[in-house]
Structure 1
Amino acid sequence: MKRVIVDYKKLTNEILTLLVEKYPDGYGDDDIISFKNLKNETVEAVEVKTEYCIYLVKVSTRLANTMENFDEDEDDFDSNDDVSDNIEVPVDTEEDDD
């Protein structure tokens, strides 16, 4: 199975949804995985699995904030989907002289 390291800045909605579903109350110390990357730097991440891939999402304060605000942001976006208020209908000002 393929493993992909993802920074919070590059999270897709799919990965963020999986994170929120797996860690609805946030992640704890027991959920964090530590490993060395190719540059021999220690990386801390939380794991999310799909059918074909394991995503290792780097842990940061911003990740926690992004996860907390994800549902709120999605709700705000959905409520603004109605674009009918922004449609301008041209008014025909010419009069028929029949």
Structure 2
Amino acid sequence: MKHRNDNLKRVIVDFKKLTPEILALLVERYPDGYDDDDIISFRNQHNDMIEAVEVTTEDTKYLVKVSSKLSVTMENYDVEDYEDFADDDPEAIQPPSMDDEEE
């Protein structure tokens, strides 16, 4: 018997490569944080044990590697911090100008 999720693309995501979109999905799925029951354990192609939490979009199942930094980031998540990223505006990310450093 095939499940709806059987044909989804599967992506393992490290904390360092977490996008604002995936972070938003994590916070939505686990608003009070995740616990041991939410963690999936598996071995990767190098036979290393990986622990991850799962979030699913329409076409992709993301397995986000669990770490203490992930927990802290989810706890401190504020949607307003990421509003500029929603438009994929290249000007939303700018290096600091020399004027900013003088302040």
TM-score scaled by structure 2? 0.70
1:61 and 1:73 mapped to 2: Cα distance?
23
Query: Is the 2:24–2:79 Cα contact (8 Å) retained in structure 1?
Result: no
Deviation for aligned residue 1:55:
0.3
Instruction: Tell me the number of residue pairs that the alignment of Structure 1 and Structure 2 aligns.
Output: 77
State percent identity of aligned pairs: 65
The residue type equivalent to 2:59 in the other structure is Y
**Offset from partner CA, 1:25-71 (integer Å, 9 cap, x none):** 00000000000000000000000000000000000000000111111
Give 1 or 2 for the bigger CA radius of gyration. Answer: 1
Name the structure with the higher helix share.
Answer: 2
Q: 1:16 aligns with which of 17, 23, 33?
A: 23
1:40 and 1:72 mapped to 2: Cα distance?
36
- Name stretches of at least 5 consecutive residues in structure 2 with no aligned partner: 1-7, 85-91, 93-103
**Offset from partner CA, 1:64-91 (integer Å, 9 cap, x none):** 001111117728x8xxx9xxxxxxxxxx
- Name stretches of at least 5 consecutive residues in structure 1 with no aligned partner: 82-98
2:79 and 2:11 mapped to 1: Cα distance?
27
